[in-house]
Amino acid sequence: MSEKVLLVDDEKEFLEIMSERMRARGMIVTATESADQALSIIEKESFDAIIMDFQMPEMDGMEALKAIKKKRPELQIILLTGYATVEKTVEAMKIGATDFLEKPADLEALVEKIKTAKAEKMLLVEKQTEEKIKDILQRHR
Amino acid sequence: MNTNHKTRDTAGAPILAAAGMQFFGRMSAAATHEIKNTLAIINENAGLLEDLTLMAEKGQPLSTERVKDISKRLAKQVHRADLILKKLNRLSHSVDLTRERVDLEKAVIFVLDLAGRLLEMQQVTVEITPPPSPVVVDTNLFYLQTGIWMAIDMACCCADQEKQVNISFGTDSTIPSVWFSMGRADKDQKGDNMKALFESVEDQALLAYLGIVIEKNNKNNGFGLLWTKCG
């Protein structure tokens, strides 16, 4: 089954080309130029991974990351940045980012990370489902 | 020679230098971040060309229109990066002379252009009303730019919900001035920010060096930079 990805970046041209190249690799891609719009989109749709630029107008990267994780903790988020410091990376990982890549990124490497992220997400969802079933069974005993 | 100016130079030199470095660092960081974005787009376009070539090798027809379009996109990003580097280069050369005659409007326009990405990130719109005639000061260009950025940054912090900053120039030729207004006076947080205008050690050192006095204008939630000592 194809990976379903949400791309978030305020550079429209980057979004267009990245989307096209990912679709050519069989992915289902939704693209948006703002973190605010991304938050609305994830309320209605599920994704295997979100690829998000770390520095955009409207919302700081860390804020956006926290907001997404709060709404959908199972979502795997890969951050793209022009300048990745150790501090930034560690802080983002603590908040729940799956990975951190520096621009310009190698697309094949990114695709591999998306596939890994999808597998991680499926494990998380499976675990959550198991816990829900356990909970239901216990309540009905 | 103005000995007062020389004394100002020596006494506050390290703090002044720190203010200048902060400004230079912030502008360089913004510019290099934008260049990274440009490189990312160039990288993706190059990758797309490679993708199309691989598909052509597998028998899929290669659209010359597509290749032309990608080529234009690449040229556009190269031009964009070039403009950013030109601005950075101009900033770097602003330290060449210790003192020179500077057109305030041109200096303001340059700093706004340099800080374009930062203003975009804050979603602030800036409008300039040009002066009826050139407003010129005799000063150190680099530190003038530092001071202008300091004022723009302060104006953005104090801007009301509409996030609009208006810049204009005084008409008194004996006291050159630049005025920043940020909309209607606000009683809450923005008003508090106006109270703390340029109170840091670095800001004070910079203002003293440039011979600038700050005047508040509470009617339009604004302030002005006034050059009371030219030279």
Give the residue with greater pLDDT, B173 vs B89.
B89
Instruction: Tell me if B9 is assigned to some domain.
Output: no
> How many C-beta atoms surround the C-beta of residue A134 within 10 A?
10
Would you say residue B6 lies in a domain? no
**End-of-domain residue from the set B76, B93, B110:** B93
* C-alpha R_g of chain A: 16
CA angle B109, B113, B117 (to 5 degrees): 145
pLDDT at B197: 76
Rg (CA), chain B: 22
Residue B189 has pLDDT above 80, yes or no: no
- Do B156 and B221 fall into the same domain? yes
Residue B229: per-residue pLDDT: 64
Among B93, B127, B157, the domain boundary falls at B93
The list of chain A residues with pLDDT below 50 reads none
Measured in angstroms, the CA of B25 and the nearest CA of chain A are apart by 14
Which chain A residue's Cα is nearest to B46?
A17
Q: Has residue B84 got a pLDDT over 90?
A: yes
Quote the minimal CA–CA distance from B29 to chain A in Å: 9
Domain count of the fold of chain B: 2
Do residues B26 and B133 share a domain?
no
Name which of A21, A83, A105 is nearest B33 (Cβ-Cβ): A83
B75: in domain: yes
Q: Are B114 and B71 found together in one domain?
A: no
Please indicate, yes or no, if residue B4 is contained in any of the structural domains.
Answer: no
Q: Which residues contact B192 (CB under 8 A, 6 or more apart)?
A: none
Residue with tokens 């908040």: A95
Contact list, B48 vs chain A (CB under 8 Å): 17, 20-21
For residue B116, the enclosing domain spans: 98-227
CATH number at residue B143: 3.30.565.10
Of A17, A58, A82, the CB nearest to B36: A82
pLDDT of residue B3: 40
Judge whether B5 lies within some domain: no
| A14/B121 Cβ within 8 A | no
With a pLDDT cut of 90, the percent of chain B lying above it is 72
Residue B226: enclosing H or E segment and its boundaries? strand B222-227
Q: Is residue B8 part of a domain?
A: no
Indicate whether B80 and B146 sit together in one domain.
no
Q: Are B19 and B61 within one domain?
A: yes
* Complex prediction ipTM: 0.86
pTM of the model: 0.85
d(CA B91, CA B13): 20
Q: Is residue B38 part of a domain?
A: yes
Set out the domains of chain A in order of their start, with CATH numbers.
4-139 (3.40.50.2300)
Same domain, B66 and B124: no
Residues B86 and B102 in one domain: no
Q: What are the chain B neighbours of A29 within 8 Å (beta carbons)?
A: none
Domain boundary among B93, B120, B144: B93
B212 has which bridge partners? B227
B87 and B104 housed in the same domain: no
Is B36 in the same domain as B115?
no
Instruction: Please list every residue in chain A whose beta carbon sits closer than 8 Å to the beta carbon of residue B45.
Output: 17
B109 with B216, same domain? yes
Tokens, residue B82: 């070039």
By C-alpha distance, the chain A residue nearest B41 is A14
Rounded to an integer, what distance in angstroms lies between the CA atom of residue B150 and that of residue A100?
Answer: 32
Element (H, E) at B207: helix B201-210
Residues B52 and B80 in one domain: yes
Q: Is residue B166 part of a domain?
A: yes
Do residues B116 and B205 share a domain? Answer: yes
Q: Which helix (H) or strand (E) holds A20?
A: helix A12-24
List helix spans (H) across B133-230. 141-158, 189-195, 201-210
The span from the CA of B168 to the CA of B188, in Å, is 25
Classify strands A49-53 and A77-81 as parallel, antiparallel or unpaired: parallel
